[in-house]
């Protein structure tokens, strides 16, 4: 069901298109009975638990430096309109639009499944990334604590872990992250898309504000937890002009490394992003999409490996060069620190006793 944009205070998507696997589509229709001056009610967040057969998701992508990940949630309440994970909600019979940020699927038994998988004799340890698809510290994590329990298992097994998040709530787990960092078993990346609080509020409405993310970065670095920044995604003519400022602020807060990704618009994300642009930045919309097409071989998305993260053409090369120069100047261009998988061990007994040290 499509819902008018004005109803969605605190939400990112402005539409709720039918998932691509559904047999029929619905369209909005004004029957004249509504009061145009009446503000429609907001949408609540509904969290549903599912049983999980496996905790670890595998990938073979040459574009990313890890082959396994943990995702405690499907969907994400942060509501980032550009999120490349939105199309996965169509697999659930839900919309990649507003459903993605209001219909959250949790995996409360993921820590138990993770323990089972790590105990298998055939398991070979390597860095697992928490939050590769949806944010592990989205608001519902404050209540459910699934991410924290996953970190407890990883610490117990002395397993290396990377974390990607837009939330300052990562500081809640500073005790576990500190214990992992002492053994060179963790790095954390804060995704900082903009330093402009107004743009952030519109583009990623329920994520932590930019200054809160910088504070989290600073406190993690102060606790000697290795931290980096992801300036992602870079959107031409909207936030790409902030690239150097984001890197400078992050380096000043203690970031040790940096990365960036060009905006991706796979499947339904294109329609959602175009509608969002028209709603919030109608005077810029055509220019943003035009420059993006120049960076994507004339299309608005590229799915090819080695191109989908960076783009092609003059504008893409210029963005890459700017990132390279700024990273070098700020000392963010060193080799990423390798985590130590050699400490992996299967704890004795039933594994219920957590040893922090």
- Arithmetic mean of pLDDT, 325-345: 93
Residue 187 covered by a domain = yes
31 within some domain: no
Which strand ranges, in their side-by-side order, compose the sheet holding 73-74? 46-49, 103-106, 73-74
The predicted structure's pLDDT at residue 3: 43
pLDDT at residue 21, as a whole number: 65
Quick: pLDDT tens for 240-265.
Answer: 999 999 999 999 999 999 999 999 99
From first CA to last CA, the distance across the chain in angstroms is 51
357 belongs to a structural domain = no
264-322: pLDDT as tens digits: 999 999 999 999 999 999 999 999 999 999 999 999 998 888 788 999 999 999 999 99
pLDDT of 56: 97
Phi, psi of 311 (to 5 degrees): 85, -175
| Burial (CB count within 10 angstroms: exposed 0-12, middle 13-18, buried 19+), residue 98 | buried
What is the per-residue pLDDT for 314?
96
Mean pLDDT of 329-354: 83
Q: What is the pLDDT at residue 28?
A: 58
Residue 148 lies in a domain: yes
Q: What is the pLDDT of residue 26?
A: 60
Please report the pLDDT score of residue 61 as a whole number. Answer: 85
Q: In 315-349, which positions are buried (b, 16+ CB within 10 angstroms) versus exposed (e)?
A: bbeebeebbeebbeebebeeeeeebeeeebeebee
Report yes or no on 189 lying in a domain.
Answer: yes
Please give the pLDDT value at position 2: 43
pLDDT tens figures, 62-107 = 888 889 999 999 999 999 999 999 999 999 999 999 999 999 999 9
Q: Is the pLDDT of residue 6 over 80?
A: no
Alpha-carbon distance 71 to 104, whole Å? 12
Let me know if residue 35 belongs to a domain.
no
Of 126, 176, 144, 123, the C-alpha closest to 72 is 144
Interstrand relation of 257-262 and 227-234 (parallel, antiparallel or unpaired): parallel
Residue 247 is part of a domain; what is its CATH number? 3.20.20.70
Res. 353 pLDDT band, cuts 50 70 90 = low
Q: Which residues of 156-177 are buried (b: 16+ CB within 10 A; e: fewer)?
A: bbbbbbbbbbbbbbbbbbbebb
Separation between Cα atoms, residue 26 and residue 19, nearest integer Å: 10
Q: What is the enclosing helix (H) or strand (E) of 186? A: strand 186-191
Specify if 37 maps to a domain. Answer: no
Residue 4 has pLDDT above 60, yes or no: no
* Domain ranges, residue 205: 5-26+44-335
- pTM equals 0.90
Is residue 349 a part of any domain in this protein? no
pLDDT band for position 163 (cuts 50, 70, 90):
very high
Contact partners, residue 270, CB within 8 Å, separation at least 6 = 300, 301
Query: Is the pLDDT reported for residue 35 higher than 70?
Result: no
CA–CA separation, 107 and 147 (whole Å): 10
Tally of domains within the chain: 1
Q: Are 316 and 295 in contact, with CB atoms under 8 Å apart?
A: yes
């Amino acid at each position: 069901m499509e819902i008018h944009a004005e109803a969605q205070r605190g939400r990112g998507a402005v539409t709720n298109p039918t998932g691509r696997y559904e047999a029929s589509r619905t369209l909005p229709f004004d029957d004249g009975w509504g009061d145009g001056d009446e503000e429609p009610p907001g949408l609540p967040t509904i969290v549903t638990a599912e049983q999980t057969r496996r905790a670890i998701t595998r990938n073979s992508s040459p574009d990313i430096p890890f082959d396994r990940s943990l995702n405690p949630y499907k969907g994400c309440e942060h509501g980032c309109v550009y999120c490349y994970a939105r199309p996965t909600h169509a697999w659930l019979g839900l919309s990649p639009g507003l459903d993605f940020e209001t219909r959250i699927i949790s995996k409360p038994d993921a820590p138990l499944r993770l323990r089972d998988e790590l105990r298998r004799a055939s398991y070979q340890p390597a860095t697992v990334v928490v939050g590769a698809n949806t944010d592990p510290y989205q608001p519902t994590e404050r209540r459910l604590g699934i991410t924290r329990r996953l970190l407890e298992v990883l610490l117990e097994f002395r397993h290396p872990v990377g974390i990607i998040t837009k939330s300052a709530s990562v500081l809640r787990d500073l005790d576990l992250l500190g214990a992992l960092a002492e053994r060179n078993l963790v790095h954390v990346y804060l995704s900082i898309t903009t330093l402009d609080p107004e743009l952030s509020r519109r583009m990623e409405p329920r994520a932590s504000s930019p200054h809160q993310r910088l504070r989290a970065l600073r406190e993690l670095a102060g606790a000697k937890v290795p931290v980096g920044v992801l300036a992602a995604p870079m959107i031409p003519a909207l936030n790409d002009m902030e690239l150097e400022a984001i890197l400078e602020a992050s380096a000043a807060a203690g970031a040790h490394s940096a990365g960036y990704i060009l905006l991706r618009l796979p499947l339904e994300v294109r329609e959602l992003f175009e509608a969002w642009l028209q709603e919030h930045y109608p005077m810029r919309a055509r220019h943003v999409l035009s420059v993006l097409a120049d960076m994507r071989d004339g299309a608005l998305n590229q799915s090819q490996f080695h191109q989908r993260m960076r783009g092609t053409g003059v504008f893409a090369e210029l963005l890459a060069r700017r990132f390279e120069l700024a990273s070098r100047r700020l000392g963010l261009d060193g080799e990423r620190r390798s985590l130590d998988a050699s400490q992996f061990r299967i704890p004795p007994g039933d594994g219920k006793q957590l040893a922090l040290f």
